[in-house]
Amino acid sequence: MTVIPREQHAISRKDISENALKVLYRLNKAGYEAYLVGGGVRDLLLGKKPKDFDVTTSATPDQVRKLFRNCRLVGRRFRLAHVMFGPEIIEVATFRGHHEDGQSDRTTSQRGQNGMLLRDNIFGSIEDDAQRRDFTINSLYYSVADFTVRDYVGGMQDLSDGVIRLIGDPETRYREDPVRMLRAVRFAAKLSMRISPETAEPIPRLATLMNDVPPARLFEEALKLLQAGYGYETYQLLREYNLFQPLFPTITRYFTEDGDSPMERIIAQVLKNTDNRIHNDMRVNPAFLFAAMFWYPLLEMAQKIAQESGLAYHDAFALAMNEVLDEACRSLAIPKRITSLVRDIWQLQLRMSRRQGKRAWKLMEHPKFRAALRSAGTAR
């Protein structure tokens, strides 16, 4: 373990949420170890403003709940405490321990056939917890007791070198939680870092493990990947590591070797457009992204239905919307509130095409498009 004293790191309490500090101080006062950990510490060390603050502690979830009246316990796979301060939620996790071979208590530890952790409620020490985290740069612990940063896995050096490195054996860790492959790509794009060779090597051949991840979780991950201001760079990495196909299997069949198909040009354009809006502090809506990405599959399906059934194109188009969205939701559980708006956007595009003749996707340039979203209260 390396202990970095206050004078050798950039973290200051003034940059930490007051509510996170309240949680840390109360846990310490009650006799528990408690640290700020994860992306919040990483971002503070990089001079960035954290999106949220996570706490890890020696207190069990039930012990945390007894200390905070504004607390609720969530999750079965990972039991967590959420301490709520109005709109801000401070997530508090108990130090994770190691899983022993033959562990039989399914309420605390359970693995699937592919090695995926289905239950992870084995508690341990801070040293155990550091080894159980995903990447070295996310395994740094800040103490409000002495203002030090504790580094058990070389995270400070990797942060300095700009390296995304998985802790432990990469294949084992990816099998425990395949979403770690997506996180590696997301952090590389977000932080402009490179993935270490040993962390990157297994990803393309293990990408099919993503099929074992619940679609609802993949939807949330897709938003983090593509709607956080670095979507285009993330998309390029997803394709490089064979991770785009498990997320959007109906889209990849339109890709070409030269990467310049109409489908690929649409994706590049819509992601760059979304990134620009985020960088200009403008709101974005995932319905716009999904409507654009599934436009060509929709046109193909509508034409097929019209030819095979003899239905009018408008009716075939309506049936095609159902089929395309149903297929998309098998890999990503896109909520109904979003699919409903996707349908509205598609129907608007169909009306525009009728007036202006059939053409490639022009929704983003059309002034009526953003106006339509504004009327729904989703963009400005």
CB of 115 within 8 A of CB of 101? Answer: no
Residue 152 is encoded by which pair of tokens?
Answer: 């058990």
Q: How far is residue 292's CA from residue 286's CA, in Å, rounded to a whole number?
A: 10
List Cβ<8 Å contacts ≥24 apart for 364-369.
364/269, 364/270, 364/273, 364/292, 369/345
Query: 92 - beta bridge partners?
Result: 55, 81
Which of the residues are catalytic?
52, 54, 134
* Burial environment of residue 297 by CB neighbours within 10 A (0 to 12, 13 to 18, 19 or more): buried
Q: How far apart are CA 319 and CA 314, in angstroms?
A: 9
Question: Which of 16, 187, 14 lies closest to 88, judged by CA?
Answer: 16
Strand 194-195 and strand 163-164: the pairing is: parallel
What values do phi and psi take at 77, rounded to 5?
A: -65, -45
Residue 54 · residue 66 · CB < 8 Å: no
Helix (H) or strand (E) holding 72: strand 71-74
346's enclosing H/E stretch is helix 336-356
On the CB side of 298, how many CA atoms lie within 13 Å of its CA? 26
Letter for the amino acid at 183? R
How many other C-beta atoms lie within 10 A of the C-beta of residue 207? 21
Strands 149-151 and 2-4: antiparallel
Residues 6+ positions from 100 with CB-CB distance below 8 Å? 109
Distance, in Å, from the CA atom of 302 to the CA atom of 313, rounded to the nearest integer, reads 7
